[in-house]
Amino acid sequence: MNVLGIETTCDETAAAIVSPGEDGRGLIRANEVLSQIAEHAAYGGVVPEIAARAHVEVLDRLIARALETAGMRLADLDGIAVAAGPGLIGGVLIGLVTAKTLSLVARRPLVAVNHLEAHALTARLTDGLAFPYLLLLASGGHTQLVAVKGVGEYVRLGTTIDDAIGEAFDKVAKLLGLGYPGGPEVERMAEAGDPERFALPRPMLGRREANFSLSGLKTALRIEAERIAPLAERDVADLCAGFQAAVVDVVVDRLRVALRGFGAVAGHPTALVAAGGVSANGAIRRALAAQAGQAGLAFVAPPLALCGDNGAMIAWAGLERLRLGLVDDLTAPARARWPFAEAPAA
């Protein structure tokens, strides 16, 4: 079974071909990703219209390159998977219309994939992980703790009530005059900083529910930065280190709450999984690995190349759904918002 995956929900254009491996993992036969960082850097964030135009310009070539790399033709595919949301609607439409056209021409089934579900299933692509497992999904637009019970079976144990973790990192970077994307820049500066110089808050610490809130932390950092302005490089490094340490403390605390609630909705987890762009952050990875060890769980995180948006995760999610007969017709809609996990029943 060979599945083409197309990803255009934000500022990466991606196409990949994935097949099932013999050990439960996936076999990535091609994974083409074209980032738009250079196009958006001057604006300090993603500009939706620029992103959509960039997808239009390169998507057909990326698909052709993926087929060439895999040594395949359209006729060799068993399915066409595409991220149909959530995301920037212009980009989502471009990927979805392209996938529908290929499905129609090649007479292959279409699978409209939830982008967040694709992140949730990446641990099965890379590690063949068995259900159920606890997922921390953290990216620029999403922060959730989810019990992953099976394909299409997700229970949300916690979410952010304001900023996502990646969004907070990017806003802090912009506030401190760092480059775009902000997350890697904050992490880089934090390596040389003193995390204890500034007394920054840990929002939601100790709360019984596993939700996140980061707007207060971001505001506290801004107040400290304004208090000591103008900022020297040492000040910026210390602010970044303090901010990152606060985020790590919040993530660990919220994770402990989610672990306590996991059994009631999904039984015993097989592992703790991190996914999404923020899972590339070294400090957060180390903290999650340590927490998993304390809980007696394996820790699984994708290789750095699969942390951000990519076509391989879309192809794998499509393959998982295709094996279960979960296919879509040509009326499948593009969705700017598309929740993939629901809160547990009261």
215-226 pLDDT, tens per residue?
Answer: 999 999 999 999
27 belongs to an annotated ligand binding site: no
Are residue 168 and residue 317 in the same domain, yes or no?
A: no
Residue 185 labelled as part of a binding site: no
Kindly state whether residues 278 and 185 are assigned to the same domain. Answer: yes
Please name which of 117, 141, 98, 119 lies closest in space to residue 6, comparing C-alpha atoms: 98
Contact 138, 258 (CB under 8 A): no
Q: What is the mean pLDDT of residues 170-199?
A: 95
Q: What is the pTM of this model?
A: 0.95
Does the annotation flag 139 for ligand binding?
Answer: yes
Give the pLDDT of residue 43.
Answer: 80
**Are residues 281 and 295 located together in one domain of the fold?**
yes
Say whether both 225 and 317 belong to one domain: no
- Is 217 annotated to bind a ligand? Reply is no
CATH of residue 67's domain is 3.30.420.40
142 is in an annotated binding site: no
274 among annotated binding-site residues: no
Q: Is 135 annotated as a binding residue?
A: no
Binding site annotation covers 39?
no
Residues 172 and 278 in one domain: yes
pLDDT band at 194 (very low <50, low <70, confident <90, very high): very high
Whole-angstrom distance, CA of residue 175 vs CA of residue 119: 29
User: Does 332 map to a domain?
Assistant: no
314: domain range? 3-123+308-323
The per-residue DSSP string of 12-48 comes to: EEEEEEEEE-TTSSEEEEEEEEEE-HHHHGGGTS--H
Q: Is residue 29 part of a domain?
A: yes
Residue 345 has pLDDT above 70, yes or no: no
Q: Is 173 annotated as a binding-site member? A: no
Q: Is the pLDDT of residue 328 over 70?
A: yes
Mean pLDDT of 207-220: 96
Q: Convert the pLDDT of each residue in 288-321 to its tens digit.
A: 999 999 999 999 999 999 999 999 999 999 999 9
Confidence of residue 346 (pLDDT cuts 50, 70, 90): low
pLDDT band at 41 (very low <50, low <70, confident <90, very high): confident
